[in-house]
Amino acid sequence: MGTIGVNNMYLTRLYIKNFRSIKELDLRFSKGKNVVIGRNNVGKSNIIRALDIVLGEGTPTYAKSENVTDIDFYSWKELQADGQLVVHSAEDIFIWCELKRDDGETLNYDEMYSCLGFYVHSQIIDWVEVGAKKRPIKGPIRISKDLLPQDYREVFQITEDDSQDKEYVNPKLRNQGALETQFEGKYSYAFAFRALKMEGKIAKDIRFLYREDDSSDWVLSFRAPIRNELLQSAIIPSFRDPQNQLRLSSWTWYGKLMKHLTSKHQESGELKSAFIEVEKVADQIFSNVTSEVMQSALDVAFPGTTLHIQFNPEATKTDLYKSCLIYLDDGFKSQLTEKGSGIQSATIIGLFNYYTRHVNTVTSALLCIEEPEVYLHPHACRVISDRLDDFLENDRNQVIITTHSAEFIRTTAEDTQIILVRKNKQDTEAIPIAIKYFKHLLIDNNKTELFFADKVVVCEGYDDYVLRAIANELFPKKLDEQNVSVVSVCGKDNLKSLVGLVLTLGIKCFLFSDFDYLIRDKGTEREKYGAKAHESIQSLGESFFAQGCLFGENGQEVFRRLVKLRSDLKNKEEEAFYTAKTALEFKSVNVSPKLEYLRKNGVCILNGAIEHLSKVPSFLTPEDNKLSLDKIYDMKARIASGEKISDLIDTSEISEFLSVVFER
């Protein structure tokens, strides 16, 4: 038996095949908070839909449910030899959701025993004498871990109709520990859902599997009556529909919450004798939940808004909880269904959070939200992001969101996982990123924007403002049309880390820097010249230069020559190596042609500092040492008054570099 405590169950894997725009996608989730990002039309919404089909509150295989229709089957176009374009459609959809629970944590057997029984794919392994008869002892037939989830068809070829190969698990036999026998020692669980086109109809089937750990094969059951008892889920799509997401029934989390809150008041004398005072009585009943939801989700994001849960005076239902209605007063009191998407999201999050803390105190919960930023201003986005962090309760619960908002990346907890979803030709792919290794770099929205880019120019200091100004003048609209982000870091030592993040994401990465990034190092020789230690372009490594948008297969050779150039400069002119501000300060080597070659291939090292490019002494001078925020304000004011950035700065080197960025 497991120890008594919270069941720390969480979703670890989602595998999708042939669903909507997704031909095949294998997603891994971590405990805590997972933020799924990506451009429009890469499949983020379809990830939420897939989760909702399998882990949502609806029955996945319910025949009358339209959770899967003909348009949900992946389709693709193929050009025939005769020039005709033919559209193909997949014959089946497969969705695999895999869960894990922590070692030693108990399952919520009280809830599980209230579910229906199920059959396990089994065989006779022994016989035992019971009186004068022999009774077969059955054991599960395991499905190889190497088959699933990719080779899923074998699982559905095994059917419940074969009476010789199944064993019934009867939840009515609690005194015999029927469920404990199956699940104790099992820490991995999975739901395998398939929709299949058959004779003009769509047949839906689901299997429930479990095993000890990743090294074990799977035990297969033919039905999946136990889902929310393992992991209670609330899934909120981008189109908010409170009537659907807050259904009052005995199996939904919201129905269970209302039933819990009203259970002691079913026979309330006040309600029976004076229903005209229903609002007053209801406010007493629901005072705790309304107060907590307001404090946790509404007060800051929607100041002045009050939450009311009331009974429907026209209801004739015998179950009191089914008469509950939610009203919000934000200056105009009306039902939640009549409010905006932002305030609907905040309310649902607050209610679900209350449910998991005060009602469902054993089972872990999954809160999955598509685009939580919809109709929220930036401050409210940050509040909701903080509330999602609170909901995690030290990783007891799990959050999965899809977003286009940088706020939900910048304000994430340190152990948050970012998942970048993108399309690679016809396929959808996902790249997981552990944000804790890069969080120190993502201090503002200009930096988190890179997650949504196709190309990133990495620079230092306030150079990004100058680069954008030049790009807007000389290459109007190109930055946004080509989805290019210009991202600045604080200090040369951070360039390596940010470049590493961009490369990890598989985004095209370009570099812009002053001349001194070509030289310098952290050697002790620098102390003779009073030079500060900092990273150089060499620290970026071969992988940066070997990008297809830079030098491709020649990247290794370019990097090797760059290392040699730095070595030559240091050996021949050590003092200049540690103190030079421009290429002209080196007498033994003509550095400028080498820098031009780099710029023409997407690596911009200026011949000096950006201050040396100033045409107007009143704007910038080399003596300024560093481009300051005051100078940026001055630059913007001059441009706003009609001056051009090309009147203030010699743009030739930067223009040469930017033309490559936009061409590749």
Q: Tell me which residue range forms the domain holding 506.
A: 438-663
pLDDT at 298: 74
The mean per-residue pLDDT over the stretch 199-226 comes to: 93
Percent of residues in the chain assigned helix, strand, coil, to nearest 5 = 40, 25, 35
pLDDT at 136: 80
Shared domain check, 251 and 202: no
Dist. CA 136–CA 128, nearest whole Å: 6
Shared domain check, 601 and 495: yes
In a domain, 279, yes or no: yes
The mean per-residue pLDDT over the stretch 618-630 comes to: 75
In a domain, 585, yes or no: yes
Shared domain check, 153 and 105: yes
- Check pLDDT > 70 for residue 134: yes
Shared domain check, 470 and 614: yes
pLDDT at 4: 42
- Check pLDDT > 80 for residue 323: no
In a domain, 229, yes or no: yes
pLDDT at 86: 86
Lowest mean pLDDT among 178-182, 428-432, 545-549: 428-432
Residues in a beta bridge with 328: 307, 334
Domain final position from 181, 206, 233: 233
> When comparing pLDDT for 165 and 631, which is higher?
631
pLDDT at 279: 65
- Check pLDDT > 70 for residue 66: yes
Q: Are 198 and 186 in contact (CB under 8 A)?
A: no
Shared domain check, 193 and 165: yes
- Dihedral of the alpha carbons of 587, 593, 595, 601, in degrees to the nearest 10: -170
Question: What end-to-end distance do the CA atoms of the chain give, in Å?
Answer: 60
Q: Return the closest-CA partner of residue 253 out of 366, 408, 124.
A: 366
> When comparing pLDDT for 319 and 405, which is higher?
405
Shared domain check, 298 and 212: no
Shared domain check, 317 and 450: no
- Check pLDDT > 60 for residue 219: yes
Query: What amino acid is encoded at 271 in this protein?
Result: L
Residues in a beta bridge with 22: 19
Shared domain check, 266 and 141: no
Neighbours of 106 (CB within 10 A): 17
The mean per-residue pLDDT over the stretch 237-260 comes to: 72
- Check pLDDT > 70 for residue 33: yes
pLDDT at 347: 80
CATH number of residue 387's parent domain: 3.40.50
Instruction: Please give the structure tokens belonging to residue 75.
Output: 């389709």
pLDDT at 118: 93
Q: Are 488 and 459 in contact (CB under 8 A)?
A: yes
> When comparing pLDDT for 2 and 233, which is higher?
233
Lowest mean pLDDT among 13-22, 47-56, 75-84, 599-608: 75-84
**Length reported for the chain:** 664
* % of the chain with per-residue pLDDT over 70: 89
Domain final position from 233, 253, 279: 233
Dist. CA 339–CA 355, nearest whole Å: 22
Domain final position from 207, 233, 259: 233
In a domain, 89, yes or no: yes
> When comparing pLDDT for 605 and 263, which is higher?
605
pLDDT tens by residue, 340-367: 777 777 787 777 787 778 777 777 888 8
Dist. CA 304–CA 543, nearest whole Å: 54
- Check pLDDT > 50 for residue 2: no
Q: Are 440 and 429 in contact (CB under 8 A)?
A: no
HSE-up (13 A, CA, CB side) for residue 110? 8
- Check pLDDT > 50 for residue 506: yes
The DSSP secondary structure of 268-332, one letter per residue, reads: -HHHHH-GGGHHHHHHHHTHHHHHHHIIIIITTTSTT-EEEEEE-TT---SSGGGGEEEEEESSS
Shared domain check, 246 and 380: yes
Q: Scan for tokens 């005060």, then name that residue.
A: 358
Residues in a beta bridge with 359: none
In a domain, 293, yes or no: yes
In a domain, 410, yes or no: no
The DSSP secondary structure of 76-100, one letter per residue, reads: EEEE-TTS-EEEEE-SEEEEEEEEE
Q: Return the closest-CA partner of residue 376 out of 399, 350, 408.
A: 408
Dist. CA 271–CA 209, nearest whole Å: 47
- Check pLDDT > 70 for residue 584: yes
Instruction: Please give the structure tokens belonging to residue 238.
Output: 């981008």
pLDDT at 178: 92
Lowest mean pLDDT among 137-151, 183-197, 273-287, 614-628: 273-287
pLDDT at 123: 86
pLDDT at 625: 64
Shared domain check, 141 and 121: yes
Dist. CA 189–CA 8, nearest whole Å: 13
pLDDT tens by residue, 165-196: 789 999 999 999 999 999 999 999 999 999 99
Q: What is the mean pLDDT of the chain?
A: 85
pTM of the model as a whole: 0.82
Q: Scan for tokens 């600045």, then name that residue.
A: 488
Lowest mean pLDDT among 50-54, 233-237, 436-440: 436-440
Domain count, the chain: 3
In a domain, 425, yes or no: no
The helix or strand, by DSSP H or E, that contains position 408, with its residue range, turns out to be helix 407-410
Shared domain check, 248 and 225: no
Shared domain check, 202 and 146: yes
The mean per-residue pLDDT over the stretch 15-22 comes to: 95
In a domain, 459, yes or no: yes
> When comparing pLDDT for 307 and 315, which is higher?
307
pLDDT tens by residue, 641-660: 999 999 999 999 999 999 99
Q: Return the closest-CA partner of residue 290 out of 255, 323, 326.
A: 326
pLDDT at 117: 92
